Copies of this chain bind each other. A is one copy, B any other.
Amino acid sequence: MNRPRPIEYASATPQVREVFDDIRATRGVPDVNNFWKYLAADPALLKRTWETQKAVLAPGALDAVVKEMVYLAVSVTNSCEYGIACHTALARKAGMTDQMFTELMAVIGMANQTNRFADGFRLPIDEAFNK
């Protein structure tokens, strides 16, 4: 079997179901998305990843919508199709409007462009940035 397979709730072990239940309760969704069904192939990896995600995306100094937009910015820069689809949806759910989305895309595009200029022109770092 070459292609990884998802594990559905119905056939999951109690250890996996416990994580699935927590994801569903935390996010208020009837079923977990594919990401978690595939990671369930390794229950310890599933549990660790969910606990990190839960801690990292919990309310803090940054708003939920800001965290999701940063997540989306990384996914776009990595050209990760699943991450883009998933975190566009999660950012929308957290309050990202149409205008916020296009402004976000504009910043992502700009940053990717100027990062290459910085490397291509072999820029030395300004003193002020090292303080």
Contact = CB atoms under 8 A, between A and B. Distances in A.
Interface residues of A, number: 81
A107 B70 contact: yes
The 7 A-B residue pairs whose C-beta atoms are closest, nearest first, are A42-B102, A74-B111, A82-B118, A113-B113, A80-B115, A85-B129, A38-B121
A117 B89 CA distance: 17
A45 B123 contact: no
A110 B35 contact: no
Contacts of A56: 103, 106-107, 110
A110 B62 CA distance: 15
Interface of A: 1-4, 33-35, 38-39, 41-42, 44-45, 48-49, 52-53, 55-57, 60-62, 66-67, 69-89, 92, 97-126, 128-131
Contacts of A101: 4, 41
A78 B80 contact: no
A116 to B, nearest CB: 5
A86 B117 contact: no
